[in-house]
Chains A and B, each alone.
Chain A
Amino acid sequence: MLIFLLKRVGVVIPTFFGVTILTFFLIHIIPGDPILIRTGERGLSDERYAEMRAEMGLDKPLWKQYVTYITGVFSGDLGKSITTQVPVIDEFFTLFPATIELSVCASILAVSIGIPLGILTAVRRGSFFDYSVMTVSLTGYSMPIFWAAIMLILVFSVNLGWTPVAGRMSAMYWVERVTGFMIIDSFLSEEKGAVLSALRHLILPSIALATIPLAIVSRMTRSAMLEVLNEEYIRTAKAKGLSPFKVIFVHTLRNALIPVITVIGLQVGTLLSGAILTETIFAWPGIGKWMVDSISRRDYFAVQGGILMVATIVIMVNLLVDILYGVINPRIRHR
């Protein structure tokens, strides 16, 4: 198990460097100057411009800037945001809970609905139920997330008025920041109704963010279940006289979950990148929205740092999935 872990970590290091190189050079390639964007139409004198460039180290050759950046990364310093002058890492952790809150809600939605749907459709393969669920899930999978989100807002917020249009909390309440997770914070605060408001704000963005993972998880579960149901060991299980419930939930599901878990792990990347669109549409103050804003401000340090953090999280989750995969699949654990 230790060797297995070390091997996995060994693969992580080059990925990590790749991400830093890619983000660094890509953001610098994009035309636009962070200082000019910041000063706007007012403009500034040439001397002040040169001074500011030197201050941020933008006057040095690119490779030198990269070296400065990467040495900073290893000492835990991602630089200061050009726009706010706040250390990128602080900014990231201020906004991150909002993204986590949204992603967790979306994953819970996707997994808790997707897996049961996958099981049911596999067991009732060829039924009307199966066809309708699979059609809907294909639709969900092919729908652009921004369109789905706008439609959700249009129907449920604008026409029906059931849910708020955007944001994390109604302006009526003031909730003190403790953990950064609005549900927990509102629970801790004295404000009555704040929890409900936080939940109501979460509904639409979670649904929008969950559509694609939900579609993928349910389809994956279904096909994995169908494959396993045809295995000979399932016939053995039936030949033991086990109840259909046990055959499906113990013998089939356990094996079918192996590919499903991998897919769920991979969805973390989708969730975080999907969060960019969802957060922008729902004005959700999380990492996704921050990234988009930083890119349009050419805030090099914020973009580099933010993407690096997100990439690290995705890498970590994949590592976790690999380990979990080993736990659930004895063929990998015992080599």
Chain B
Amino acid sequence: MSLLEIKNLTVEFGSIEKPFRAVDAVNLRLDEGEVLGIVGESGSGKSVSALATMGLIEFPGRVRAEELKFQGRDLLRINDKQRRSITGADIAMIFQEPMTSLNPCFTVGYQIIETLKVHQPDTRKQMKARAVELLEQVGIPDPVPRLKLFPHQLSGGMSQRVMIAIAIACNPRLLIADEPTTALDVTIQAQIMDLLLELQEKSKMGMVLISHDLALIAEAAGQVVVMYAGQVVEIGTAEELFYTPKHPYTAALINSLPEHAKGKKRLDSLAGVVPGMYDRPSGCLLNPRCQYATDRCRNEEPELKGPLKRQVKCHTPLGE
């Protein structure tokens, strides 16, 4: 049994008559102890998929899925209260902006203990001891006085460490990290990534790592999912995607890495943006931006094909 099994996840916003699909029939699978990477540019539906898994999509957003199973339990077929008992305890999430993700009115200690209180209530003393232990685990030195600090007294890296402490407070089996290092300094980025991977390794939890940074994903994740305009366009290991990308979009993403532009005057880039709410093209959603697009691409939507661990959604995959 996989830890997380998502089949045909669709998230829609806007009116019922004219919905906007932020996530379109996405399938994801994740085993215990596995790190799954999700890449894609802004607006590709990475974060929305993660929020849907957490149960954080609110009205007027609509989440549908054939299956959204976590440890064999379908999260869409239990009531809100049962769902909340899983959210924050067995599935936890950390966000992109650590500085604004902590409530400015409460101390660090309060915010950590709050999670414990909801999911694993204990005596005040015990919970405080656990909070100290958590801060130590995420590499915050001298944790006891730090419990009394307010978020505005912390740096960005420190805030993200606190967020991680909150996320791992109840020993989750699945941690969703949504661009956990994007808002941080480069030097801190590496520290936070190392910390996350170390914690993941130690507790053997599953991790979904969302980023637009391919290099970061390649270092951390085994299996990688590439998303574009709410759809999964390619699946493979980080290595496969890096060295033999099959989807023109993946190839373009890799080409646009600054590391590939040595000696060039300009960086490579993929012209255009992800199609917006009402300007979706017919056929393959990438066709207006794709240099290989044929008439077939413009008329007929390709299917995600190939073996389970190496799939591509393209009529004319590269290298074939």
Q: Inside 8 A of A240's CB, which chain B residues have their CB?
A: 87-88, 114-115, 118, 166
Q: B95 contacts A330, CB within 8 Å? A: no
- Contact between B84 and A243 (Cβ–Cβ < 8 Å)? yes
Stretch at the interface among B27-35, B102-110, B213-221, B223-231: B102-110
Query: How many interface contacts (CB-CB < 8 Å) are there between A and B?
Result: 71
68-123 of chain B: CB within 8 A of chain A:
84-89, 92-93, 95, 97, 100-107, 114-115, 118-119
Tell me if A's interface is mostly helix, strand, loop or mixed: helix
Contact B87–A241 (Cβ < 8 Å): yes
Cα-based distance from A233 to B166 in the complex (angstroms): 12
Q: A239, B85: Cβ atoms under 8 Å?
A: no
Contact present for B84 and A232 (CB under 8 Å): no
User: Are A255 and B114 neighbours in the complex by a CB distance under 8 Å?
Assistant: no
* Interface check B299, CB cutoff 8 A: no
- Min distance, Cβ B177 to any Cβ of chain A, angstroms: 12
Contact B85 A241 (CB under 8 A): yes
When distances are taken between beta carbons in the complex, the residues of chain A under 8 Å from B107 are 330
Least CB distance, A130 to chain B, in whole angstroms: 14
Mark interface residues in A231-248 (1 if CB within 8 Å of B CB, else 0).
111011111111100000
B150 interface residue per 8 A CB criterion: yes
Q: Are A236 and B101 in contact (CB under 8 A)?
A: yes
Contact B100 A331 (CB under 8 A): no
Q: How many residues of B contact A (CB 8 A)?
A: 29
Whether a CB of chain A sits under 8 angstroms from the CB of B256 is no
Cβ-defined contact, A233 with B92, below 8 A: no
For chain B residues 149-206, which have a beta carbon within 8 Å of chain A? Answer: 150, 152-153, 163, 166
Least Cβ–Cβ distance between A17 and chain B, in angstroms: 36
Residue of A nearest to B103 (CB): A233
Q: CA separation between A139 and B214, bound complex, in Å?
A: 56
- Do the beta carbons of A334 and B153 come within 8 Å of each other? yes
| A254 CB to nearest B CB, Å | 5
Query: If A243-B84, A255-B104 touch, does A330 touch B150 (CB 8 Å cutoff)?
Result: yes
Q: Collect the chain A residues with CB atoms within 8 Å of residue B106's CB.
A: 251, 254
CA distance in complex: A242, B163 (Å): 16
How far in angstroms is the closest Cβ of chain B from A247?
10
Q: A231-B100, A243-B84 are in contact. Are A238 and B56 (CB under 8 A)?
A: yes
**Minimum distance in angstroms from B146 CB to a CB of chain A:** 14
- Cβ-defined contact, A242 with B88, below 8 A: yes
Cβ contacts under 8 Å, A178 to chain B: none
Q: Does B54 contact A (CB under 8 A)?
A: yes
Distance of A240 Cα from B87 Cα, bound (Å): 6
Q: Counting chain B CB atoms within 10 Å of each CB, which of A231, A232, A241, A330 scores highest?
A: A241
Known A-B contacts A240-B114, A241-B84, A241-B87; A330 and B104 likewise in contact (beta carbons under 8 Å) = yes
Tell me the nearest residue of chain A to B176, going by C-beta.
Answer: A239
Contact with B along A304-335 (1 / 0, CB 8 A): 00000000000000000000000011110010
Q: Which of A232, A236, A237, A241 contacts B86 (CB 8 A)?
A: A241
Residues of B within 8 A of A233 (CB): 100-104
Q: Which of B85, B103, B150 contacts A251 (CB 8 A)?
A: B103
Contact between chains at A330 and B105 (CB < 8 Å): yes
Q: What are 12 inter-chain pairs, A to B, with CB distance below 8 A?
A: A233-B100, A238-B56, A239-B92, A239-B95, A240-B115, A242-B114, A243-B84, A251-B103, A254-B106, A328-B105, A330-B107, A331-B104
5 further interface pairs, Cβ-Cβ under 8 Å (given A241-B119, A251-B106): A236-B101, A239-B54, A239-B93, A242-B114, A255-B103
Shortest beta-carbon contacts, A-B, top 8: A241-B88, A240-B88, A241-B87, A233-B103, A330-B150, A241-B84, A232-B100, A254-B105
